[in-house]
Amino acid sequence: MPASSSVRRLTWVYAVTIFVSSFLIFQVQPLISKYILPWFGGTPGVWSVCMLFFQVILFAGYAYAHLTIRHLSPGRQVGLHLLLLVLAVAILPITPDGLWKPNGNEDPTWRILCMLLASVGLPYFILSSTGPLVQAWFSRAYPEASPYRLYSLSNIGSILGLVTYPFVVEPLWTTETQAGVWSLGFVLFAASCTVCAWTMWRASGSLAEGARTSSDLASEAVTPPARLDRWLWFGLSAFASVMLLATTNQVCLDIAVIPFLWVMPLSIYLLSFILCFGHERWYPRRIYAVGLAISLFCLLAMMLNNRSVPILSQVVVYFGSLFFCCMVCHGELVKLKPHPRHLTSFYLASSAGGAAGGLFVGLIAPLVFHRFIELHIGMLGCSLLALLTYFRDKNWGLYHGRPVWAWALLVLAWLGLAKGLRTHAGEVNANEVAVMRNFYGVLRVALDEMANPVRRSRILIHGRTLHGRQFLAKQKKSYATTYYGADSGVGLALKNAPRHSGLRVGIVGLGTGTLATYAQPGDAYRFYEIDPNVIPLAKEHFSFLNDCPGQVELVLGDARLSLEREPPQNFDVLVLDAFSSDAIPVHLLTREAWDIYQRHLRPDGIIAVHVTNRYFDLQPVVERLAEHLGRPVVKIVSGRRVEFGQSPAHWMLVTNNQEFLNNPVLQTVINASEGKSHRVVPLWTDNFSNMVQLLK
């Protein structure tokens, strides 16, 4: 029996509800992740754990939708869902409590997960259930219409939510304002969802009790999906998720931990959903099969030669391979989609696969693997599942291994890809002395320049960024190498800073402890290090700390949080050396952070900021912060000196000590260095920052 005309006129509400829910889902992901990023060290691991949380809650939402549709009557579905909506609205706004900030050096994974559950868990759960639940309601109210178009609409809302965040929301509003506006949007969503529930209940009530529609009767005759099909729903979704998170981790590690680089991979991931679920003609299998093969081999070639690849080319290759992997996985997923009777089980299996991929990358891989090989596994898994689906499809020319010559080429290509990825993993291991991995990434100690007796050295590498070098030759062990040479900004500061008896120096970022070479008897060097793996590696494989003639103090934990809790340290020099890696911890460059630094600095003290970076120009940000403190700032640029193991380095010195600034040695270097930046940027705060405007 058809729904009443009054109910039928409200079909647009279903589309609006699904669109708004998807928009809110993918606005809150970068919003809440950026909000808590300063609390947990600003590392790529924060985004990975957040994505794990969102994927698991998405699965829980889909499971809720599946179970309620299967086991509850329409009236009970409506009653339960309205109760959850009221509870979710009651806990707004979604801003996390500051009590969740870490207390010390513990692994922050579980703290992040619990904090997200407490602050945004229930609203996100409700939003996650909306897609399959409201589509099922739509099918019941309008059995003649296909619900899969609503799924495509939900992905359009998702990608708009993502794209507008870095380009519209983030530049215009503080995170506090963003959270408030999002909470208001959730209230509006709750109202539209209530209307959907009412229309479905009215449509269900128009049927005589116990009566069934022709669509209900026809669906009973539908053959259930094969067990292998259900596993393919899971596997295709899982490996697409692995590729998404592994690619995001790699790009953030090599470039920066910023919402823009979270949003781009996730937008590509969602775009593949939109295209594949929109219409079959948008997934021409033959074209994407060729594109997958080409993109994966291009990615492999770049991984084997990544040091010589420009940033733009890296981004294109990483994101291009992600696009083709997601298109193939989701395109094959759509080809396997079942009758609408099994719609919620289809979405449940797909979301379970996505959650499994998140669990693998976010929790399992850091515990099981010593280095990042998730991308390798994702590439092999996506390509292998593609071959399996080609083999099983009766409507595809490669069905059941025919023609043999074509399958021989495909298998050889896959084996070649596997061998190349294994070679890449083997090259990473070359000359390694030690390797450790945790929430903060992979650290490797390796031998370098072993063929040259004069330049033999031991190096510390995080990702692919050099964090320290020490010569093996006894007469050269005390050299200040890499970015810390005598003519670098920090070297000049430590050698020429005004002394009050012994020099007291605070250093954010331990590395190998190279700066300890500048200490003199009576000096105190206090190192702040967030990664617990760095300290044992620096002590066991490098001698800078052990050979230091002054006092060495090691503080484990996020430097900003540690300084926030400590009494004034009265530093003569405070060194910010957390920016030499390409993953920029933005929370160390905000007004609030620098107010903390000033509390720990002597009136004539010096803040030395390491701004060497391949991709971002941090100079204007430091200039604005120096202006905020009312202190002059100069930039010191030093060059490469191979014989001393020194790399090109850019440092900025912030101080109102005119005696230090007028030092002839310093004046010579200042005059030869770059002047003030021509870029104009706003003062960064904990609630507002924008890395995109600093791209070189």
pLDDT tens profile 499-525: 878 899 999 989 999 999 999 999 999
Burial 299-309, CB ≥16 within 10 A → b, else e? bbebbeebeee
The count of structural domains within the chain is 3
Say yes or no to pLDDT of 372 above 80. Answer: yes
**pLDDT at residue 340, as a whole number:** 66
Which of 137-151, 171-185, 332-346, 527-541 has the highest average model confidence (pLDDT)?
527-541
Angle at 36 between CA 35 and CA 38, to 5 degrees: 100
What is the residue-averaged pLDDT of the chain? 84
Q: Are residues 123 and 245 in the same domain?
A: no
Quick one: average pLDDT of 257-266?
Answer: 71
Say yes or no to pLDDT of 403 above 70. Answer: yes
Q: Is 592 within the bounds of a domain?
A: yes
| Percent share of the chain, pLDDT over 90 | 35
Q: Is 448 within the bounds of a domain?
A: no
Quick one: average pLDDT of 302-321?
Answer: 80
Q: Are residues 97 and 129 in the same domain?
A: yes
Torsional sign, CA 80, 85, 88, 94: positive
Q: How many residues make up the chain in this entry?
A: 696
| Cα(444)–Cα(428) distance, integer angstroms | 9
Quick one: average pLDDT of 213-233?
Answer: 68
Least confident of 100-114, 378-392, 559-573: 100-114
Q: Is 2 within the bounds of a domain?
A: no
Q: Are residues 316 and 171 in the same domain?
A: no
Quick one: average pLDDT of 586-590?
Answer: 86
Of 429, 449, 472, the residue that ends a domain is: 429
Q: Are residues 312 and 168 in the same domain?
A: no
Say yes or no to pLDDT of 648 above 80. Answer: yes
Say yes or no to pLDDT of 673 above 70. Answer: no
Q: Are residues 42 and 116 in the same domain?
A: yes
Amino acid at 531: D
- Binned at pLDDT 50, 70 and 90, residue 255 comes out as low
Least confident of 80-89, 275-284, 687-696: 687-696
Domain range for 369: 226-429
Q: Is 435 within the bounds of a domain?
A: no
Q: Are residues 362 and 502 in the same domain?
A: no
Say yes or no to pLDDT of 217 above 60. Answer: no
State both tokens at 672. Answer: 């030869």
Say yes or no to pLDDT of 2 above 60. Answer: no
Q: Are residues 200 and 237 in the same domain?
A: no
- The number of beta carbons lying within 10 Å of the beta carbon of residue 419 is 11
Amino acid at 409: L
Is the N-terminal amide bond of 93 cis, ω within 30° of 0? yes
**pLDDT at residue 3, as a whole number:** 43
- Binned at pLDDT 50, 70 and 90, residue 414 comes out as very high
pLDDT tens profile 539-565: 999 999 999 999 999 998 888 888 988
- The number of beta carbons lying within 10 Å of the beta carbon of residue 316 is 14
Q: Are residues 202 and 268 in the same domain?
A: no
Q: Is 33 within the bounds of a domain?
A: yes
Residue 255: give its domain's CATH number: 1.20.1250
Q: Are residues 403 and 514 in the same domain?
A: no
Q: Is 186 within the bounds of a domain?
A: yes
Residue 540: give its domain's CATH number: 3.40.50.150
**pLDDT at residue 345, as a whole number:** 80
Q: Is 235 within the bounds of a domain?
A: yes
239: Cα separation from own chain's centroid: 17
Quick one: average pLDDT of 73-85?
Answer: 90
DSSP category for residue 165: I
Least confident of 248-262, 563-577, 603-617: 248-262
Angle at 339 between CA 333 and CA 345, to 5 degrees: 65
Quick one: average pLDDT of 149-156?
Answer: 73
| Cα(683)–Cα(268) distance, integer angstroms | 32
Quick one: average pLDDT of 653-661?
Answer: 91
State both tokens at 50. Answer: 């957040």
Q: Is 313 within the bounds of a domain?
A: yes
* Whole-structure pTM value: 0.75
Q: Are residues 399 and 261 in the same domain?
A: yes
Of 429, 456, 491, the residue that ends a domain is: 429
| Cα(650)–Cα(606) distance, integer angstroms | 16
- Binned at pLDDT 50, 70 and 90, residue 104 comes out as low
Which of 165-169, 410-414, 420-424 has the highest average model confidence (pLDDT)?
410-414
- Binned at pLDDT 50, 70 and 90, residue 254 comes out as low
Q: Are residues 111 and 252 in the same domain?
A: no
Q: Are residues 174 and 268 in the same domain?
A: no
The crossing angle, in degrees rounded to 10, of helices 374-392 and 227-254 is: 150
Say yes or no to pLDDT of 38 above 70. Answer: yes
The crossing angle, in degrees rounded to 10, of helices 44-71 and 227-254 is: 160
Say yes or no to pLDDT of 220 above 60. Answer: no
C-alpha distances in Å from residue 434, one per residue of 156, 429, 470: 46, 9, 15
